[in-house]
Chain A
Amino acid sequence: MSLELVSVSFAWEGAGERARRVALSDASLALEPGRAIALLGPNGAGKSTLLGLASGRLAPISGSALLDGTPLASWDRRALARKLAYLPQVERLPFNYPALDFVLLGRAPHVPALALPAAADYARAKAALEDLGLDALAERPVTELSGGELQLVRLARCLAQGAEYLLLDEPSTMLDPANARRLADALRRLVARGRALLFTTHDAPFAAFAADEAALLKDGSLVALGPAHAVLVPELLEATFGLPFKDASFPTVFHV
């Protein structure tokens, strides 16, 4: 029972005479229920590519991406969506759906074709909102939520999906420290209850708080992978980002 990337590589096909651009090479990583891994690295280091490979949106050019031992590409889409939830960094909101109806869309992989969500689906959507302390927002239009509220409501949609594996692309971007803390608390609770979590972030303190493991990516290679307290240290962060890091830069909001 795990999500495994075994020496995966990926390259974007260059158009015309331009050579292929390697986005990720020979990366291996395993994620199990009850564990959380944070992915950090500079822009363009391959974080989103790795998340794309782990969620099955991208297919590796070499190596293999397996969920419960089966290649992601062989999974039926709906079955995969019941098992694994992927949350894009940002999404356009087409209409002013009430938050509850928006979260209900997470039931899509469970609702048979041509059918409507049933009472049980509503119950799951409500439970997901309650889980994140968002009951009060149920009737609010998603277009009127603050950035932090919206991020949590989108996470609630992933929970309504009922997936064991949560793959989040920069969930804490655009959140103020209080909302980032709220999100990190929610993620910790989910992991404690047996969900598996893989997320990208630029926020080392957030990563250290929300994840027990961390991975550093640089120029398409995994340069460090291990317990968060051993990986998110000034020396390794400096080597990865090329900037001086100090422990003091961790805001107190994440000190437990």
Chain B
Amino acid sequence: MARSALVVTALCAAFALYLLVGRYPRPGLTPPLRFFTDETARRLLVNVRLPRALGATLLGAVLGGAGAAFQSVFGNPLVEPGFLGVSQGAAFGAALALVLGAANPNIVALSAFFFALLALRASLALSKAFRFGGQVLRLVLSGIVVSAFASALLAFVKYAADPLSQLPDITFWTMGGLVAMGWGRLLGAAPVALLSLGGLWLLRWRATVLSLDDEASRALGARPELERGLVIIVATAGVAAMTAVSGIVSWVGLVVPQAARTLVGADARASIPASMAMGAGFVLLCDGCARSLLPGELPLGVPTALFGALSFALLLASRRTAVAR
């Protein structure tokens, strides 16, 4: 319990810090009193920093929570929310819309969301068609196939893209970023993301039951294939919705659940909520760096991959993750 309180406190602190960090009136922290006296600062806070902070929070919570849920129901600490082709599908959808000349970012987001779900659908269908291995292995294999297929399509679209105007947009999109996160986009993605978070919250003990071998969970009255499919769909819908407005943000869904398990234990009752909170804090921190470290905006995927890969290595080397295989 003490550790949960610590995680929540850290998240609140990260959120508050995020609202203060920026380049107005000068690079560094905006003095809090300024929001009461300076109209520009107040508008900046309400119209730019607050929706972006909420977007970063939701994105991190969805990625962390989905990652923890995936790792639990697959009984495997190395799967992450994008592994069923969702990330690559979304990237292809966004790139396609950009190349076809969609000027409205909402159309790009919708296209990304649509192709992310299409990739998920294809992975699930393919895993049922495979005649090799158990459900987990078949899903992993079909995820690899669909990801590779979507990557090839993405490469083709990039090849066809205008190298001066469209290619930079596509590249930036595939590296993620919250620069365009205003109230409109946030409110567009939030309902699906919140439903997904709520669903995972309710399913969190079930996710622990499903982490057992199929034979063992079946003996406990569960329907592992069916219930695992439900968790996957609930988790992926949220990831697809947030990815559509943020681009691909890697490593969060893989590394945050590992850290959460070392802190609060492996039982998904604790590790799913902790991964949501820690994912949110991690993305707030990374996005804070992405928008304030350099004069220009750094793609969000750069700090998440940098810090993510480093902490992943440290966590695995610390031996406290203690997984059986």
Contact = CB atoms under 8 A, between A and B. Distances in A.
Interface in A185-240: none
B266 interface: yes
Contacts, number: 88
Contacts of A91: 212-213, 215-216
A88 B322 contact: no
8 contacts: A82-B221, A87-B219, A94-B324, A101-B208, A106-B220, A109-B221, A114-B202, A114-B203
B209 interface: yes
Contacts of A108: 209, 217, 220-222
B323 A114 contact: no
B269 A116 contact: yes
A224 B23 CA distance: 85
Nearest to B321: A96
Given A91-B212, A114-B206, A96 B220 contact: no
Nearest to A106: B220
Q: Please list the 9 inter-chain residue pairs (A to B) with the smallest Cβ-Cβ separation, ordered nearest first.
A: A81-B221, A94-B75, A95-B266, A109-B221, A78-B221, A108-B220, A86-B219, A94-B211, A114-B202
Contacts of B213: 88, 91-92
A105 B324 contact: no
A87 B215 CA distance: 9
A95 B324 contact: yes
Contacts of A44: none
B79 to A, nearest CB: 12
Interface residues of A, number: 35
A119 interface: no
Given A95-B211, A96-B324, A116-B205, A88 B221 contact: no
B261 interface: yes
A117 B221 contact: no
B226 to A, nearest CB: 11
A109 B220 contact: yes
Contacts of B203: 114
A161 interface: yes
A81 B219 contact: yes
A71 interface: no
A106 B72 CA distance: 17
A85 B219 contact: yes
Interface string A134-175: 000000010110000000000000000100000000000000
B26 interface: no
Given A95-B323, A95-B324, A108-B209, A88 B215 contact: yes
A104 B219 CA distance: 14
Interface string A96-114: 1110010001101101011
B209 A77 contact: no
B221 A92 contact: no
Contacts of B261: 95
Nearest to B131: A15
Nearest to B77: A95
Given A88-B219, A106-B220, A101 B267 contact: yes
Nearest to A116: B205
B325 interface: yes
B76 interface: yes
Contacts of B220: 81, 105-106, 108-109, 161
Interface in A44-94: 55, 57, 77-82, 85-88, 91-94
Interface string B243-261: 0000000000000000001
